[in-house]
Structure 1
Amino acid sequence: MESKAGCGPDPGPGIPSSPWRWHPRDVTAAAAACTVQLAVAGTVWFIVRATVTDDYDRPVAVLGPLCLLLLGPPAVAAAGLLQAVLLPLPAVAFADWSARRHGVPAWRPGVLAAMALGALWAVPCALLGAGFPAAWAWIAAGAVLPLLAVAYYRRREARRGSPYPGRSIWFHAFAQSALLVPAAVGVMAVATATGVLREYEPPEPTAARLTGAWEGPGEAVVRLDRGGRAAVTAVPDAIDGEPCDGTGTWSLDTSGHRDRVILDVKGCGSGAEWLISGTADRPELVLSVGDPDAGDLRIFVRAASGSLVADGRTGRLLPAPPGA
């Protein structure tokens, strides 16, 4: 029998009337749809991030693609189930319960429930730095495909006259992912080739533009003077990460595919390579501490005017105290 929702058959008498209990078919359909959209969205996000952000000249881990291939599908499926439990399934159950209890078209309370739950889950995203309206819109939009999938499999089950096998629903989801994920890769490749998605290009500043003071984590400061003189304060050693002070020399190396600053400071290592990153308007100096291929990155930015003061006793440059 068609429900008042106008978007799917009545779930049937076997479904509990409580909005807090879900039919196994609806759980499978919503989780499978969430898995498909997460696989596609994750692929697009990964490609965009790898294209437009700096990899700091680090090699790709040999086992990375293999681990992604083996662990990716079950991890995405688990994430899809979690997403289904957090948003579309409560919305579907509340819509069915409201339609039966109040005799209203089920799509109305379903939409309201999805919007309300989207707003609820957008709050922690906003606290983490994402804009609330954008987070709300994206989260609520993520419920559309699972809700449509639930309605679709309800109709299919009604036509069959028997329960729809959960393994068939998951087979459909994996088949769709096998088609849509490569399609997403192809679309992103075209976007990159045509310039719609621009690849990251590191800045190439001159030696004159690099002179001045650079601030890093904590009290770490690097000062690059004209004439090739350098001084560092609380800068980590590139080998063991221990902070050190000293004076020495610096030079700009443009011989490789990425420009670097070579810093020679007594007691802080000889020939430490600082990668030039950031943008042309906001360049950064990046030091890799420990393993060159997987060490900790310490990022230094140009010190703002008045952000550093000289210690009266030692002459070291230190971050200015608050309110100074």
Structure 2
Amino acid sequence: MTLDDRINTFSELGLYLQNYTDSKDLSSNFSQKLTNIIRQAEIQNAWFTQDQVHLSIAAWAKALTKKQLRNWLTPYKISAMPKKDVAVIMAGNIPLVGFHDFLCVLILGHKVIGKLSSNDNLLLPFMAEELIKIHPGFEDKIVFTNDRLPKFDSVIATGSNNTARYFEYYFKDKPHIIRKNRNSLAILNGTESKTELEALGEDVFRYFGLGCRNVSKLFIPEDYDVDDFFKAMFKFKDYIHHHKYANNYDYNKAVYLMSSVKLLDNGFLLLKEDKQFSSPIGTLFYEKYTSIKELEITLRERHEEIQCTVGNEDFTEVNFGQTQNPKLSDYADGVDTLEFLIQH
């Protein structure tokens, strides 16, 4: 397959996903099968509600166009290169979280050996099956395994800080990208509009806050009126009706109250003052700042803990409401996956 073949195949898959998202052709075989897979995914993993999976599919439908793919690939030197077998150990915290690595490997013509999380092992194999239907040349380029990884040339592994230590030891003799825990932050200065704050709610609540690009920590001025934030969050109040979210919210609230921790609570989201970045489900940490310049320096020093930063400051890179709509060139942990695969 040529690069054009691969771009055309992924863009055709994107068109199928767009038609599904737009409800243009729900009677097609593709749509019926995808609907069934989405239902199975929710049964297997209650965090993967149909609404949340649809959000992920809509994001990929928007990204997988010929124009977007070509613009993404243009800066790279993708001439003839040795084809490699690339192992990809995927997380399962949000729907299709491993698709970007899957795309990166295949768009360069390499073979992907995917080790799926048990939390998300239905959606990506479906996408792979459809790619092969569009272009059979992908058939010998895609392998999924639940067992020990077969022979491979390089590896991309995503996990926690604990599993990263294991990965770094186990894969020390192979070219690798090892991803650890990261969190996303939002910086408020009190001038945000209601629209911007409501958009921030998307960054906090989408995928129930389980993604590394979900905002888990707020930085606010000393005199910030939290009521403005809570009012903007009201449109997300129905999240409390999801049983797993509600259980986490109730549990964390009980633990904090038994420990006499001061909380701000609107009935479906807890705000806790805390210097840590990683907050539990149903909770958002916050920290007050007195100097935006000092805050910028602090965050720069802790950049390895941060996935992305939301806000209107000069040093924030993501607009409100956009953390879960990354561009193809927004690489996890800031490591250029395509460049790694080209060089290694």
TM-score computed with the length of structure 1 as normaliser = 0.25
